[in-house]
Amino acid sequence: MKLQLEKIELKEIELPLKYPFETSFGRTTGRRILIVKVFDKNGASGYGECVAMENPFYNHETIDTAWLMMTKYIAPLLSAARIERAAQVDETLAPIRDNRMAKAGVEAAVWDLEAKLLQKPLWKHIGGTREKIACGVSIGLQETTDALLEKVAREVESGYQRIKLKIKPCKDVQLVKAVRQKFPSITLSVDANSAYHYETDAPLFKQLDEYDLLMIEQPLAPGDLVDHAKLQREIKTPICLDESIVSLTNARHAQELGACRIINIKLGRVGGFSESRAIQLFAQAHDIPVWCGGMLEAGIGRAHNIALSTLSGFTLPGDVSASARYWEEDIIEPPVVVSPEGTIRAPVNPGIGYEVKENLIEKLAVKRESISLT
């Protein structure tokens, strides 16, 4: 079976979030989402979702830069390469520096297409082995501590296996203390999204050591592996890197420096399934647990995250949770549901394994472009 890519179709949709999501870098009330559909000459198609946000505050990419990268650089490179397998997309797009979320949106669509042509669930096609994945939730900054405690209670009751709290300067230790007091035995972690500095904030992280956290995610700046390594030597709690790890090379450097003990892998941040798999294998070989991060995905991106989470190295609960936590109506059918034990069952149908609601996407579309790959 060889791929014969025919065209790529881009649509931008706007999807309001049920609840605003606030992190140290800002507040998100809705998502502008770039949906990628790739077509094969024999009529089959595959879907991807670009996770770049509206603004360059999580990383440098935005939905608008991703659109430009796809139309001006990614589609022409793919067209010229005449690739025959999804595993070739990564090397084909390597001449483009960074812009990994743009590349990943297209790469993931080609993987879905190839899995569909093979009549296999995507998770099996990429080498996944878990029939169900463990789920955690990421809870944004709330107006009040009471509101946060209420949210945590609701997610714990739903069965989620790990609760992650967003923190930022002045909304950190006291939040963790309040949640820990009320929920002494839950698996708890925090995510700072790079809001702190080693020189001034090391004592604060020593204070957080008192609360039995599973991990502290991305405390310092993305490029700052050296200070993460210093901080990790001074605290007991494992540091987990998110923004800092955009490639296997970064993962190697982090391991060598001792900059983290856990890695969060996001398909978009690292440029797709090939790089995610490489990072996961490296981490596994060095006893670094990994888990699948989230970017407030709609159903297509969520389905890709489920597939990724079935790989053997994903041993910690991820930020992959139910569609209903984000959306009134998701763009896939059925929506992603989480069991009372806090797990998601890997789908049995070919490709991403969920039906894409094409009519809904067309109704929500605010921008469209179709590019021939022949």
Q: Which of 138, 142, 161, 276 binds ligand OSB (CB under 6 A)?
A: 138
3-state secondary structure of 126: coil
Q: Which of 24, 193, 232, 274 binds ligand OSB (CB under 6 A)?
A: 193
Q: Say if strands 188-191 and 216-217 run parallel, antiparallel, or are unpaired.
A: parallel
Between CA 229 and CA 236, with CA 234 as vertex, the angle to 5 degrees is: 100
Identify residues 90-129 at the interface with ligand OSB (CB under 6 A).
none
Are 247 and 255 a contacting pair, CB within 8 Å?
no
Between CA 222 and CA 75, with CA 53 as vertex, the angle to 5 degrees is: 100
Are 323 and 335 a contacting pair, CB within 8 Å?
yes
Cβ nearer to Mg ion, comparing 40 with 217: 217
Q: Does residue 352 belong to the site contacting ligand OSB (CB under 6 A)?
A: no
**CA-CA distance, 181 to 85, in Å (whole number)?**
52
- Least Å distance, CB 259 to Mg ion, is 15
Per the document, the length of the chain is 374
Identify residues 160-189 at the interface with ligand OSB (CB under 6 A).
none
| Total residues at interface with Mg ion (CB under 5 A) | 3
Q: Which of 112, 242, 275, 330 binds ligand OSB (CB under 6 A)?
A: 242
Q: Does residue 319 belong to the site contacting ligand OSB (CB under 6 A)?
A: yes
Assess whether 116 carries a catalytic annotation: no
Residue type, 2: K
Question: How deeply is 372 buried, as exposed, middle or buried, from its count of CB atoms within 10 A (0-12, 13-18, 19+)?
Answer: exposed
Cβ nearer to Mg ion, comparing 245 with 332: 245
Binding mask 226-265 for Mg ion (x = CB under 5 A): ----------------x-----------------------
Q: Which of 49, 112, 191, 224 binds Mg ion (CB under 5 A)?
A: 191
- Least Å distance, CB 295 to ligand OSB, is 5
3-state secondary structure of 217: strand
Cβ nearer to ligand OSB, comparing 12 with 297: 297
The residue from 266, 357, 363, 367 that is catalytic is 266
Work out the number of other CB atoms within 10 angstroms of the CB of residue 190. 26
Q: Does residue 298 belong to the site contacting ligand OSB (CB under 6 A)?
A: no
Structure tokens at 268: 């978009």
Binding mask 149-188 for Mg ion (x = CB under 5 A): ----------------------------------------
- Residue (of 118, 91, 138, 117) closest to 272 by Cα position: 91
- Residue (of 296, 299, 294, 297) closest to 309 by Cα position: 294
The residue from 11, 116, 166, 171 that is catalytic is 166
Cβ nearer to ligand OSB, comparing 32 with 124: 32
| Total residues at interface with ligand OSB (CB under 6 A) | 10
Assess whether 166 carries a catalytic annotation: yes
Q: Does residue 142 belong to the site contacting ligand OSB (CB under 6 A)?
A: no
Cα–Cα distances (Å) from 126 to 55, 277, 328, 335, in that order, read 31, 9, 30, 22
Residues near Mg ion (CB under 5 A) are 191, 217, 242
Binding footprint of ligand OSB on the chain (CB under 6 A): 58, 138, 191, 193, 242, 293-296, 319
Catalytic residues: 166, 266
